[in-house]
Amino acid sequence: MQLKKEESVLLIVDIQEKLAAAMPEKIMKKTIKNCQILLEAARRMGIPVVVSEQ
């Protein structure tokens, strides 16, 4: 299977404060770093980004 940027979208789902508070700090920092990498990659490739927030 090959992904096509024309048919792709990056969905970022909000991490609730209670969940974030329960996560080990190292894991939370890694999660944030990974999201930043994905967002930058999407920006460079022209892939739309959708952010879900409650």
* Cα–Cα dist 38/31, whole Å: 11
> What's this model's pTM, rounded to 2 decimal places?
0.81
C-alpha atoms less than 13 angstroms from C-alpha of 7 in its C-beta half-sphere: 4
- Full residue range of the structural domain in which residue 32 is found: 5-52
Give me the number of domains the chain comprises: 1
Q: Tokens 């969905």 sit at which residue? A: 11
| Tens-digit pLDDT profile for residues 9-53 | 999 998 888 888 899 999 999 999 999 999 999 999 999 999 998
Decide if 26 contacts 18 (C-beta within 8 A). Answer: no
Spacing of C-alpha 14 from chain mean position: 9
Asked if residue 12 lies in contact with residue 35, where contact means CB atoms within 8 angstroms, the answer is yes
For the chain, the C-alpha Rg in angstroms (whole number) is 13
